Amino acid sequence: MDSQQINTFLAVAAHGSFQEAATRVHVTQSTVSARIQAIEQELNARLFVRNRSGATLTAAGQRFLRHAKTLALTFDQARHDVGLPSRFRGSLRIGARIALWDGLLPLWVGRMRAQAPDLSINSDIGFEEDLMRGIIVGTLDLALMYSPRHCAGLQIEHLFDETLVRVCSDPQDTALDDSYVYVDWGPTFYAQHQQVYPDLERPALMANIGWLGLQLILANGGSCFVPERIAASSLRDGSLHLAPHGPRFRLPAYVVHSSQDDSSMLDMALGVLRALVREQTTGGDAEPEEGAPSGRRGGAIQVARGEGKSSGRRSR
């Protein structure tokens, strides 16, 4: 099974047509049919049902689709690594939740480029499921996230704690009404949120990333929980406000990588990342606000070149 066959399968699955797939991959329709037949013979399973309306995936085809996407990514990553221009001695691919790209990781990329200009860096944004899959199959070297899944062969390291605060368009906002946007920060946030707001019904508005929650309340009014460091600029210019007596939730951030990878490039990347977190961490404890869940206290992490602070545990 080769990359051409995989890409052809994905094209048929995406467009529901052997003829359209042939156009997309720039081959004849008979070549598409031959490639699909070769995959079906190797898997000993029928992948498509062809009819007048086109081609639809069988149950086996649906199961293979997930593997085909992973294989395609692996082929692309191998091509990227092997086909580097001579001025690069290696490549590194990092993925993270979008909130962690806000401030911290762009600084990391800059430092890596300064220290290792002969290193190619590929940057991705994703959610935990995609990031974990990337680390497991080897299409990512490093992944930063909030809710990693423990798997054999993976190293999970705590970096710092985000501080999630409720920001609102109305400075007098004291209650979670229908304008409240629930941002899904994962199971850790859900448990703390449930502890403080046990009687809250399912919110009318939900978002899967903090950036989207902010856009919704900036456009329409309301409130949501986001990392304090990300909301800092909006708090300073007065477009948003901290909710009076609002709780603060701690959200640990982790870096994940393969425990089998002992390359010098990965060691450098982790060292630069740890140093950056340490530099942005200041000492001192602060009392939690009213309603905040108890937990381990730490310093404040300042990222985005002085654009706000977020409480965080010292890296270890």
Give the pLDDT confidence score for residue 162 in this predicted structure.
94
Question: Rounded to whole angstroms, how far apart are CA atoms 250 and 161?
Answer: 6
The reply to whether the predicted model has a pTM over 0.75 is no
Task: Label the pairing between strands 248-258 and 154-168.
Answer: antiparallel
Degrees to nearest 5, angle at CA 48 with 47 and 49: 140
Q: Please, what is the angle between helix 29-43 and helix 59-82, to 10°?
A: 100
- Asked whether the beta carbons of 207 and 183 are under 8 A apart, the reply is yes
Question: Rounded to whole angstroms, how far apart are CA atoms 146 and 191?
Answer: 14
pLDDT 10s digit of each residue in the chain, 316 long?
888 999 999 999 999 999 999 998 999 999 999 999 999 999 999 999 998 888 999 999 999 998 998 888 777 767 666 666 566 667 789 999 999 999 889 999 999 999 999 888 889 999 999 999 889 878 889 999 999 988 888 999 999 999 999 999 999 888 899 999 999 999 999 999 999 999 998 899 999 999 999 999 999 999 999 999 999 999 999 999 999 888 999 999 999 998 887 788 899 999 999 999 998 875 433 333 333 333 333 334 444 333 333 333 333 3
In tens, the pLDDT along 179-226 reads: 999 999 999 999 999 999 999 988 999 999 999 999 999 999 999 999
Give the pLDDT confidence score for residue 82 in this predicted structure.
65
Look up the CATH number of domain 3-82: 1.10.10.10
Residue for token pair 């992944």: 143
Those residues with Cβ within 8 angstroms of residue 103's Cβ, 6 or more apart along the chain or in another chain = 229, 230, 303, 304, 305, 307
Question: Rounded to whole angstroms, how far apart are CA atoms 206 and 212?
Answer: 9
SS (H, E, C) the chain: CCHHHHHHHHHHHHHCCHHHHHHHHCCCHHHHHHHHHHHHHHHCCCCEEEECCEEEECHHHHHHHHHHHHHHHHHHHHHHHHCCCCCCCEEEEEEECHHHHCCHHHHHHHHHHHHCCCEEEEEEECCHHHHHHHHHHCCCCEEEECCCCCCCCEEEEEEEEEEEEEEECCCCCCCCCCCEEEECCCHHHHHHHHHHCCCCCCCCEEECCHHHHHHHHHHHCCEEEEEHHHHHHHHHHCCCEECCCCCEEEEEEEEEEECCCCCHHHHHHHHHHHHHHHHCEECCCCCCCCCCCCCCCCEEEECCCCCCEEEECCCC
Question: Which of 225, 260, 246, 61 has the alpha carbon at shortest distance from 154?
Answer: 260
Question: Rounded to whole angstroms, how far apart are CA atoms 196 and 106?
Answer: 34
Give the pLDDT confidence score for residue 83 in this predicted structure.
61
Would you give the end-to-end CA distance of the chain in angstroms? 44
Break the chain into its structural domains and give their ranges.
3-82, 89-316
- Asked whether the beta carbons of 135 and 266 are under 8 A apart, the reply is no
Question: Rounded to whole angstroms, how far apart are CA atoms 33 and 28?
Answer: 9
Amino acid at 77: Q
Extract the tokens encoding 228. 């304090």
What CATH number matches the domain at 89-316, 3.40.50.1100, 3.10.20.30, 3.10.450.100, 3.40.190.290? 3.40.190.290
In tens, the pLDDT along 140-181 reads: 899 999 999 888 889 999 999 999 999 999 998 888 999 999
Give the pLDDT confidence score for residue 80 in this predicted structure.
65
Q: What's CA 157's distance to the chain center, in Å?
A: 16
Give the pLDDT confidence score for residue 300 in this predicted structure.
41
